[in-house]
Structure 1
Amino acid sequence: MSQIFFDNWETLFRTLIIGVLAYVSLVILLRISGRRTLSKMNAFDMVVTVALGSTLATILLNRDVALAEGVLAFALLIGMQYLVTWSSVRVPWVRKIVTGEPALLVYDGNLLSSALKRARVTEDEIHSAVRSSGSQTLEHIKAVVLETDGSFSVVKQENSQATTSLQGIVVPGKGKLDGSDLH
């Protein structure tokens, strides 16, 4: 019964020392790997982040995992993330697999119901994004895009010069926007 609350001082001391060293190692590796590791996340980045947290917890709580093994696991995960992101910048098919494509949910003030269903987004979420952008109705909205990181981008009608950011977005029934149809 006493082991539920306290096993021995050696275990606590190990957790303290390994915890500090593992945390410092993780911070150093994240700093070396660059800002991408800490930026807004797509699904791949989220998996790596969860795996890093799980690895840190394992290092802290599992006596069978040495600090060197844990730091190697950190380096492996961060190295794999670096390799995949490096490849996604240079190889289009890798980028498509890793990041996916943004989804157009509203165009010219109209909700695109089939796109909402495919993206599993409710009308309430769209209205919330529109309100957050400072607009009151969909009539003032050129487009709402579900970005690859899960956030919503709202492009207002009056930002006609800014709508070139919609280039390449697929509009159901119209195809990809090319810039000529954005104003």
Structure 2
Amino acid sequence: MENWIYAALPILGKVLVTVILIFSIIILITRISGLRTFAKMSSFDFASTIAIGSILAAVVMNTDQSILKGAVALGGIVAFQTIFSYVVRTSQSMQDLLTNDPMMLMYQGEILYENLDKTNVGEDDLIAKLREANVIHMHEVMAVVLESTGDMSVLHSSEDTTVNKKLLQDVVGIPEYATFNDAD
């Protein structure tokens, strides 16, 4: 009998074999489809990673689930992710429709409160990210961008400089007064 403290030895053995097999399947699928499988390049990639983890957990923890069913589900998610990323990469209109644009949250040491409101990001979250990026002075911050993945990128320098225009490609919410350099 299984309870919250004890599980029968055959059940534990099945869980162990399932872990080995399903992880082997994930490794095989990742080798075939590439490392992008677990990248957080877009919100869709992030959702795919969560779904893969959920399937993995369901197959391992539910002894009534078949490994084949889990493998097909994993393969289906990765195949759909591959098709989705191809469509987004090759069609600008689909990219505009299906992906979020990165948003400027801070520029040249100035917090862009209107953009914080648009993205539902609090000033405290922004400040925490600045601390995480080892920013010492606000004037060191050249730009903070909320990426399409939900991550924040902090571009900072102790030198008086401007951001390379290429680094802010496709970023929305850039102030009209922004200046860039084209060097590099």
With normalisation by structure 1, the TM-score equals 0.80
CA displacement, residues 75-99 of structure 1 (integer Å, 9 cap, x when unaligned): 0011111111111111123323443
Structure 2: gaps of 5 or more residues: none
| TM alignment of 1:58-137, pairs within 5 A | 58-137=58-137
* DSSP 3-state at the match of 1:169: coil
Shift of 1:104: 1.0
Q: Which one is further off, 151-160 or 109-118?
A: 151-160
8 Å CA contact retained: 1:164, 1:182:
no
**Alignment pair present for 1:166 and 2:168:** yes
Q: Could you tell me which residue of structure 1 aligns to residue 2 of structure 2?
A: 3
8 Å CA contact retained: 2:42, 2:149:
yes
Q: Could you tell me which residue of structure 1 aligns to residue 138 of structure 2?
A: 138
- Compared CA separation, residues 92 and 66, structure 1 to 2 (3 A): same
Q: Could you tell me which residue of structure 2 aligns to residue 44 of structure 1?
A: 44
Q: Could you tell me which residue of structure 1 aligns to residue 28 of structure 2?
A: 28
- Compared CA separation, residues 173 and 162, structure 1 to 2 (3 A): closer
Distance across 2 between alignment mates of 1:34 and 1:80: 14
Across the aligned residues of Structure 1 and Structure 2, the Cα RMSD in angstroms comes to: 2.6
Shift of 1:167: 3.9
- Compared CA separation, residues 70 and 114, structure 1 to 2 (3 A): same
Distance across 1 between alignment mates of 2:167 and 2:67: 46
Structure 1: gaps of 5 or more residues: none
Shift of 1:6: 4.3
- What percent of counterpart residues are identical? 26
